[in-house]
């Protein structure tokens, strides 16, 4: 078939004519993209893809995957037509734009797609990872100090002050917790000092705090509420927090 490829510059018509003139060819079938040659001697069929000889592909074949909403929207606005559609898989948290989708009266190839995969952000993974997990007094203080940038109420400065107070009083015995009218909890503690009766004090912590988190990469920030819980066992203090309805946020 060297004669065919040599004359392929004239696109499909020249190739078809060259195929017809080839010795031993019984029949030639063709459309714009496919050439089928039937040989009379060995009853063999040869199929050739003519698309690669053209100035451009016959259609777009692309399966793109993106992680940011704006990239997905930009692609949709650039390529979508009246037949294009977006399919959602909420369980997998992904959206697929099928640019060359089927129409009721006309099937299509559905080979041009763009998929948005909603990946959770680092800050969401951090807070969700510690959700409902008991932490020692010092560990909780360090966690709050490290991630204070995400806390909006009480202020990050107040939460840092609470964490420093927890670290400073890590050797005291806690004995009670009283719920106050302002939505805080007052924890009583007692520090035993050798040769003296000891020092008593109170530590106030919020019952609830608010975060501002990006749930998904490249997305907007949302208000996330969490309950602050504690347990007192033999004078030791354990903290944990509970994000309120995380499934609703997702």
What's residue 87's pLDDT?
96
Give every strand in the sheet of 34-39, ordered side by side: 25-30, 34-39, 45-49
pTM for the model: 0.64
Q: Cβ(34)–Cβ(45) under 8 Å?
A: no
CA distances from 32 to 26, 55, 137 (A): 20, 12, 74
Cα(143)–Cα(139) distance, rounded to whole angstroms? 6
Query: DSSP assignment, residue 203?
Result: E
Q: Which residue has the higher pLDDT, 173 or 196?
A: 173
- Structure confidence at residue 230 (pLDDT): 75
Q: At what angle do helices 156-168 and 137-146 cross, to 10 degrees?
A: 150
The confidence score (pLDDT) of residue 131 equals 93
């Amino acid at each position: 078939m060297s004669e065919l490829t040599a004359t392929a510059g004239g696109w499909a018509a020249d190739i078809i004519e060259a195929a017809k003139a080839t010795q031993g060819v019984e029949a030639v079938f063709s459309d714009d993209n496919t050439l089928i040659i039937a040989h009379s001697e060995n009853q063999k069929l040869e199929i050739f893809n003519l698309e690669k000889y053209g100035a451009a592909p016959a259609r777009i074949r692309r399966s793109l995957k993106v992680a940011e909403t704006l990239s997905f929207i930009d692609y949709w606005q650039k390529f979508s037509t009246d037949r294009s559609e977006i399919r959602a898989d909420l369980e997998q948290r992904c959206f697929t734009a099928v640019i060359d989708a089927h129409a009721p009266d006309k099937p299509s190839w559905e080979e041009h797609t763009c998929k948005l995969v909603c990946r959770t952000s680092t800050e969401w993974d951090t807070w969700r990872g510690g959700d409902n997990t008991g932490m020692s007094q010092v560990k909780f203080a360090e966690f709050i100090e490290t991630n204070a940038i995400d806390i909006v109420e009480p202020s990050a400065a107040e939460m840092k002050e609470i964490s420093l107070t927890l670290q400073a009083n890590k050797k005291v015995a806690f004995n009670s917790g009283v719920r106050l009218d302002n939505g805080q909890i007052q924890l009583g503690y007692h520090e035993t000092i050798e040769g003296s009766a000891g020092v008593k004090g109170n530590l106030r912590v919020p019952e609830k705090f608010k975060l501002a988190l990006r749930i998904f990469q490249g997305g907007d920030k949302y208000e996330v509420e969490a309950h602050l819980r504690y347990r007192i066992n033999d004078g030791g203090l354990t903290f944990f927090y509970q994000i309120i309805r995380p499934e609703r946020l997702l």
